[in-house]
């Protein structure tokens, strides 16, 4: 079993903290979902993601709460399904998020939220009161639901640029970095998730059968980064990310690797509304956004990593991608906290 198919035992303990009495009750629940209770004493232990998903479902059924009892108001069983139904009826991800966040804000007392567009950035902000911050697990569970549903609605992985939280950093963060972003920032003035604003314009094209399949696999399918294995564009994006930019193949070479003709490759991508050049630009943009969230990486180094001849070429390309220069973009990601 690969690490990406497992969940830290720390997250199991967090899920049980407010939702299951310690002792015999905990042992019974863990045994039912195939998790050895003895693993709770091993801080380095990991459990299969599907077992963690079964735990989520079982606790939700027992409590009639899909949010592990972490809010005074229950997120009653069926809430995830209703959230998806509300959102999928909307034309774009922007309006879908408005509907979904509105529903969650009605259901949860302590976590009202809204999304906002900040030029080339978008952010979902929790409008919390001045009470002490919630624990990290509470915030990340919320983001897991919202981001997982958003990716499903859009039919693609939505890259997260940054996640900021009001709470202190927990003792374990590795799983959260895999699920969300390497750029996790704690003890911030507010809790928010930042992503590229262009994602807000993505169309929603989901139907009842797709919703049924999504819910049948939930929450296992939102515990890891969403991927559409049927999408050729997604496969190409994945392969490009694994290579230095200077080693990216040309169209003919890529077609040969995929055992199709160049014209077939172009046609299949066109059917998905993509071009190979567009995919390369998309991956470059995603990588640039990720590295701009790291202040230790200079613009010159980013330009080199992306295969640009110099920083000036990178500046021009980034302005074309995002409508802002890299310095402004970095400032918004790292410093904007009003």
How confident is the model over 174-199, as a mean pLDDT?
86
Residue 1: what pLDDT? Answer: 38
> Which tens digits make up the pLDDT trace of 7-66?
889 999 999 998 888 899 999 999 999 999 999 999 889 898 889 999 999 999 999 999
Q: What angle do CA 319, 117, 73 make, to 5 degrees?
A: 145
Residue 230: what pLDDT? Answer: 56
Q: Which one is predicted more confidently, 97 or 220?
A: 97
Residue 240: what pLDDT? Answer: 92
Structural element, H or E, at residue 287: helix 276-292
> Which tens digits make up the pLDDT trace of 98-143?
999 999 999 999 999 999 988 778 899 999 987 899 999 999 999 9
Residue 231: what pLDDT? Answer: 73
* 32 touches 194 (CB < 8 A): no
How confident is the model over 245-262, as a mean pLDDT?
92
Sheet holding 184-185, edge to edge: 113-118, 121-126, 192-196, 160-164, 184-185
pLDDT band at 229 (very low <50, low <70, confident <90, very high): very low
Residue 20: what pLDDT? Answer: 87
Residue 320: what pLDDT? Answer: 80
pLDDT band at 290 (very low <50, low <70, confident <90, very high): confident
pLDDT band at 3 (very low <50, low <70, confident <90, very high): very low
Coarse DSSP helix, strand, coil percentages of the chain, rounded to the nearest 5 percent:
55, 10, 35
Residue 49: what pLDDT? Answer: 85
Residue 2 has pLDDT above 60, yes or no: no
| 194, β-bridge pairs | 123, 162
DSSP for 1-31, please give it: --GGGEEEHHHHHHHHHTTS-TTHHHHHHHH
Residue 232 has pLDDT above 90, yes or no: no
Residue 144: what pLDDT? Answer: 94
Residue 160: what pLDDT? Answer: 85
How much is the pTM? 0.73
pLDDT band at 187 (very low <50, low <70, confident <90, very high): very high
Residue 273 has pLDDT above 80, yes or no: no
Residue 224: what pLDDT? Answer: 59
Q: E strands, the chain, where?
A: 6-8, 46-48, 113-118, 121-126, 160-164, 184-185, 192-196
Residue 324 has pLDDT above 80, yes or no: no
Residue 235 has pLDDT above 70, yes or no: yes
The Cα 312–Cα 326 span in angstroms is 11
Of 125, 161, 158, 198, residue with least CA distance to 330: 161
């Amino acid at each position: 079993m690969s690490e990406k198919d497992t969940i830290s035992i720390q997250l199991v303990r967090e899920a049980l903290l407010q939702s299951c009495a310690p002792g015999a009750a905990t042992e019974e629940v863990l045994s039912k979902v195939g998790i050895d209770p003895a693993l709770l004493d091993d801080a380095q232990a990991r459990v299969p993601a599907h077992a963690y998903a079964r735990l989520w479902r079982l606790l939700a059924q027992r409590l009639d709460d899909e949010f592990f009892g972490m809010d005074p108001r229950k997120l009653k069983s069926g809430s995830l399904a209703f959230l998806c139904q509300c959102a999928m009826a909307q034309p774009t991800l922007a309006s879908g998020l408005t509907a979904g966040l509105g529903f969650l804000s009605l259901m949860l007392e302590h976590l009202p939220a809204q999304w906002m567009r900040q030029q080339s950035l978008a952010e979902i902000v929790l409008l919390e009161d001045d009470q002490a911050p919630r624990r990290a697990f509470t915030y990340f569970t919320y983001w897991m639901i919202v981001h997982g549903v958003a990716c499903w609605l859009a039919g693609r992985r939505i890259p997260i640029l940054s996640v900021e939280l009001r709470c202190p950093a927990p003792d374990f963060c590795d799983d959260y970095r895999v699920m969300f972003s390497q750029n996790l920032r704690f003890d911030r003035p507010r809790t928010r998730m930042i992503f590229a604003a262009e994602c807000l314009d993505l169309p929603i094209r989901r139907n009842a059968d797709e919703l049924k399949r999504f819910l049948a696999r939930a929450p296992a399918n939102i515990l890891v980064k969403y991927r559409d294995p049927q999408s050729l564009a997604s496969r190409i994006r994945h392969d490009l990310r694994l290579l230095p930019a200077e080693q990216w193949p040309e169209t003919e070479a890529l077609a040969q690797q995929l055992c199709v003709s160049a014209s077939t490759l172009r046609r299949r991508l066109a059917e998905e509304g993509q071009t190979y050049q567009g995919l390369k630009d998309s991956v470059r943009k995603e990588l640039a956004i990720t590295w701009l969230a790291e202040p230790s990486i200079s613009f010159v180094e980013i330009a080199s990593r992306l295969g640009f001849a110099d920083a000036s070429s990178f500046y021009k390309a980034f302005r074309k991608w995002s409508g802002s220069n890299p310095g402004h973009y970095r400032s918004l990601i790292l410093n904007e906290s009003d």
